[in-house]
């Protein structure tokens, strides 16, 4: 069954929780929960990256929560610090801090070292690291190697993988 997104007006599949084009929530079930994903054999997690099983419930300890729109997973980033976002592939010598490979990153065009998120002194910023398929912030393409402010509910797109930034103390 097809539903019409109230944010962008495009037709989407009924089983989608969020619009893959604009990130608008398509269903109204506030009690919906998702299961945490097991780490895939090619995936990597670090002590700074943990997957939460709660949909749209930001972690109290994290300064920034990355909400994977397609799956509903929340990836909390605890600051201050710098986090390289990308995907892990075999033979890679420099690994990203946030591995998006478990979320179909390769198929979505996410580069191995795609972007840098910096959390410091109450400011959150993002920089595209010269990725092959680019980074978008609220549908605006970022120029590589330039810093942009990241705010609550901004939608990031790494290649074709959409993530919503949820900020909070």
Q: Give the tens place of pLDDT for each residue, 68-91.
A: 999 999 999 987 899 999 999 888
The pLDDT of residue 17 is 64
Same domain? For 23 and 76 the reply is: no
Mean pLDDT score of the chain, rounded to an integer? 79
Same domain? For 57 and 102 the reply is: yes
The pLDDT of residue 26 is 67
Could you give the number of structural domains in the chain? 2
Same domain? For 129 and 155 the reply is: yes
Same domain? For 58 and 74 the reply is: yes
Same domain? For 26 and 69 the reply is: no
The DSSP 8-state label assigned to residue 20 in this structure reads T
The CATH number of the domain holding residue 79 is 2.60.200.20
Dist CA 148 CA 44 (whole Å): 27
Residue 133 has pLDDT above 50, yes or no: yes
The pLDDT of residue 91 is 87
Same domain? For 50 and 123 the reply is: yes
Same domain? For 21 and 42 the reply is: no
Same domain? For 108 and 147 the reply is: yes
Same domain? For 26 and 98 the reply is: no
Same domain? For 82 and 120 the reply is: yes
If one compares 148 and 26, the residue with the highest pLDDT of the two is 148
Q: What is the extent of the structural domain holding 7? A: 1-31
Phi and psi at 46, nearest 5°, equal -115, 175
Check: pTM over 0.75? Answer yes or no: no
- Cα–Cα distances (Å) from 42 to 14, 70, 76, 77, 95, in that order, read 30, 20, 20, 21, 12
Same domain? For 71 and 101 the reply is: yes
Contact call for residues 49 and 68 (beta carbons, < 8 A): no
């Amino acid at each position: 069954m097809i539903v019409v997104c109230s944010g962008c007006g495009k037709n989407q599949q009924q089983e989608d929780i969020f619009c893959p084009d604009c990130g608008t929530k398509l269903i109204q079930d506030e009690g919906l929960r998702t299961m945490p994903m097991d780490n895939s054999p090619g995936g990597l997690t670090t002590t700074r990256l943990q997957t939460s099983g709660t949909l749209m419930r930001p972690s109290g300890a994290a300064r920034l929560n990355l909400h994977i729109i397609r799956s509903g997973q929340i990836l909390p980033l605890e600051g201050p610090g710098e986090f390289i976002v990308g995907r892990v592939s075999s033979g890679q010598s420099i690994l990203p801090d946030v591995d998006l490979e478990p979320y179909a990153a390769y198929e979505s065009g996410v580069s191995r070292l795609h972007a840098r998120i910096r959390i410091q002194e109450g400011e959150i910023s993002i920089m595209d690291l010269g990725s092959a398929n680019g980074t978008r912030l609220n549908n605006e393409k970022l120029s590589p190697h330039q810093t942009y402010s990241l705010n609550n509910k901004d939608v990031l797109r790494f290649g074709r993988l959409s993530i919503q930034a949820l900020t909070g103390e």
